[in-house]
Amino acid sequence: MGEMAGFQLGVIGALFLSVASSVSIVICNKALMSNLGFPFATTLTSWHLMVTFGTLHAAQRLKFFESKSSDMKTVMLFGILNGVSIGLLNLSLGFNSIGFYQMTKLAIIPFTVLLETLFLKKQFSQKIKFSLFLLVVGVGIASVTDLQLNFVGTILSLLAIVTTCVGQILTNTIQKRLNVSSTQLLYQSAPFQAAILFVSGPVVDQFLTKQNVFAHKYSSIVLVFIILSCLIAVSVNFSTFLVIGKTSPVTYQVLGHLKTCLVLGFGYTLLHDPFTERNIIGILVAIFGMGLYSYFCAHENKKKQAGGDVSLGSPIKGKDGTPLLSQDNDTHEVKKSTKNSLV
């Protein structure tokens, strides 16, 4: 029981860190882009990853964690894939309406379920599927407005969905297959993510904004917010790998939509953003779906454990039994309504 209680406390900490850091970076980036006129989202993300790698490198040298040798080809391809997915999501936002972009994000959950069912032979119960359906519908009601389609934007959105889903599934499976912690995997893959975004970011940003990131006038306040954004991003990146490693890609997406609801609520209460009955109803439906998802997953886990099918720390084979507070099987940004949002 002590081991289980300690694990649950660790998961609570990971979830809290993920929510707090993600909401914080959305607020910071909204101020940076909307109020201070710095629209270079993809390039900023590359800086985030550089600072993340630098921070982890310092932590590794100070013996906070051990660097573990692993299959570098796998890690390199994984890092490049994640970098490409970020670029594609930003391009999708640039080519599509806000409503269609939000639909792209919502499609990540069902597509992840489909991929895990087909290739990882996972089985999702009807109750789990129903709770995810409620969640997606609720967030859709709250955040999706116009749906303007175009061919290029649709292709980019499909590619963004595929690369994002595969990247998040690999974040979970690579940690287990290579027997590395979330910190070790992030440390090894961050340079490759940063490199591809640092090269492609200025090109993507200039295409979307018609401005050159290197010709931008950097005032002291802009530099302060860029540094703050990079520091918060360390927590965002770390908690992303931590949550996916300890739970599942689907659970991480569920948590992401909780952040969406929180940011919508924050925008209304503190920033006085427009808020309608539709927003309120959508958020309530989404939160209800999240609650059902966590309850059903926890209930299915308990049934499996009671039946003697799993032991503490073992994965539940063939089932998605990862609630927001779940059992470990490892060894150890609503998007703001602008064409220049961070992924």
Q: How many residues does the chain have?
A: 343
Task: Answer whether residue 117 shows pLDDT above 90.
Answer: yes
pTM of the full structure: 0.80
DSSP characters over 215-241: GS---HHHHHHHHHHHHHHHHHHHHHH
6 band by pLDDT with thresholds 50, 70 and 90: low
How are the residues of the chain apportioned to helix, strand and coil, as percentages rounded to the nearest 5? 75, 0, 25
pLDDT in tens, 170-201: 999 999 999 999 999 999 999 999 999 999 99
pLDDT at 318: 43
Residue 321 lies in a domain: no
Residue 343 lies in a domain: no
Residue 89 lies in a domain: yes
Q: Tokens representing 8?
A: 């649950």
| Look-up of token digits 């940076």 | 32
The CA distance from 320 to 323, in Å, is: 9
CA distances for 78 relative to 55, 116, 208, 339, angstroms = 20, 17, 26, 27
pLDDT in tens, 222-281: 999 999 999 999 999 999 998 888 888 888 898 888 877 877 777 777 666 677 888 889
Residue 101 lies in a domain: yes
Residue 155 lies in a domain: yes
Residue 31 lies in a domain: yes
Residue 54 lies in a domain: yes
Residue 37 lies in a domain: yes
Domain of residue 187: give its range: 14-125+147-249
Q: How many domains does one find in the chain?
A: 1
The CA distance from 289 to 142, in Å, is: 13
Cβ within 8 Å of residue 50, ≥6 positions away? 190, 194, 198, 230
pLDDT at 44: 97
